[in-house]
Amino acid sequence: MCLRSNPTHCFLPPFVIQEIAENGTPAQQAHARQNMASSWQIRSFRAATTGADSIIEQDDVAVSTMEERLIYDAEFGSILPGRLVRGEGDPPTADVAVNEAYDGAGATYDLYKDVYGRNSIDDRGMPLISSVHYRIGYDNAFWTGRQMVYGDGDEDLPPQDRLFNRFTISVDVIGHELTHGVTQLESGLLYSGQPGALNESISDIFGILVKQYELGITAAESNWIIGEGLFTKNVNGVGIRSMKEPGTAYNDPVIGVDPQPGHMRDYVNTVEDAGGVHINSGIPNRAFYVMAMEMGGNAWEKAGRIWYVTLRDKLYATADFTTAAQLTFDVAGDLYGRGSLEQQAVRTGWTAVGLEVGDDGGEDNPVEPPDPPAQTGCIESFLSMSFMQRLFGR
């Protein structure tokens, strides 16, 4: 398996930090500016890590059949991975972030291994490396192409100004970011426009499935909230995104209003956020929610399998929403039969967000991938240059 190029994927959308920088208290604004500057400096982090800025060539890696989690402490700096503080099989430490990163990586590994037969991120037993305590007051988590990195949120601010808790607190955040590694090695979805929104949506899908699988709850029992627990009590919101009702996760005078649409009629055309990758992902997110509810039971069993097989075998770098709709419909037919209840549930899900699928897909009429263009990353499009100039007075 060869590597596809990969940007650094950040969990917290850039527009949230922009809102804080414009609407927060003086302490919150200064903190937001610091976080934006840190995000622009992630390229420097890449230079500080050992090796290339992406997963090593898989053909050169021996296959491992054992789970291996390695948790490092960045000790509030930016040199990664940091100091090893917990390895596979080691007992819990006194550091809650270390234990959450360890357990969340394990929950993600378990879903992929137990349900889909995937052996870690690369399907060859790749060690799951995480670094906690990245920088001071870093409000984000990200996948570098080699490992996970977690900030501590606003722990450096006074209680009345804190907006974010530590980013290891939500297991779906961990599952979300690690899934970027799976997408990187399988479909290589470009991180811009609709392919980028699909990339983000797939991470949300498997992030929520990690949480549901860990809790042992059905689709109907889940609240379908991504990033639950990240906000402090100072924020009027339940999480970063709602897959059930995109656009309703938060409505707060400091961080703004959740901008996600849940239907193609409300699709947001923008050059910000890498073409709206964290915004328009609400559309396929809601489609998956509807599919899972239509199928009933445990969402990871059928709806999740349809998406996993589509990601592994069918999706390609420039796939858009219409392509994903047709491919998931075809895969549902391959797995459960043409005209099956599962295939009709996939149709219902996409119809609910304004996208139609045809009945003439499948092996006889495959969706052919075009040649992919060059890829851009989230850091390159994290914030508009004009906004940065206005914010920092340059």
- Report whether pLDDT(33) > 70: yes
Record the pTM: 0.89
Q: What is the pLDDT of residue 106?
A: 98
- Joined together, the tokens standing for residue 191 give 């991180």
176 catalytic, yes or no? no
- The class (CATH top level) of 9-392 is mainly alpha
CB 44 within 8 A of CB 78: yes
Q: What is the pLDDT of residue 393?
A: 46
- Report whether pLDDT(320) > 60: yes
Where residue 290 falls among pLDDT bands split at 50, 70, 90? very high
Alpha helices by DSSP H, the chain: 14-23, 26-40, 42-48, 96-110, 116, 171-185, 193-215, 273-276, 282-295, 303-313, 321-336, 341-352, 385-392
- Joined together, the tokens standing for residue 126 give 């790749």
Domains of the chain, residue spans: 9-392
- Joined together, the tokens standing for residue 165 give 């808790």
278 catalytic, yes or no? yes
Highest mean pLDDT among 5-19, 47-61, 267-281: 267-281
pLDDT single digits (tens) 46-62? 434 333 344 545 555 56
Which of 100, 133, 278, 294 is the catalytic position? 278
pLDDT single digits (tens) 202-230? 999 999 999 999 999 999 999 999 999 99
- The residues, ordered by sequence, that sit 6+ positions from 355 with a Cβ below 8 Å of its Cβ are 264, 283, 287, 321, 322, 325
Would you list the DSSP string of 59-79?
A: GGS----S--EEEEE-TTSSS
Mean pLDDT over each residue of the chain, to the nearest integer: 88
Helices 321-336 & 341-352, crossing angle to 10 degrees?
170
- Report whether pLDDT(302) > 60: yes
CB 242 within 8 A of CB 224: yes
pLDDT single digits (tens) 81-140? 999 999 999 999 999 999 999 999 999 999 999 999 999 999 999 999 999 999 999 999
pLDDT single digits (tens) 153-178? 999 999 999 999 999 999 999 999 99
Burial (CB count within 10 angstroms: exposed 0-12, middle 13-18, buried 19+), residue 76: middle
Which of 177, 228, 272, 342 is the catalytic position? 177
Would you list the DSSP string of 131-169?
A: EES-SSS---EEE-SS-EEE---STTS-GGG--B--TTS
pLDDT single digits (tens) 369-388? 544 443 433 333 333 434 44
- Report whether pLDDT(304) > 80: yes
Please count the other Cβ atoms lying within 10 Å of the Cβ belonging to residue 368.
6
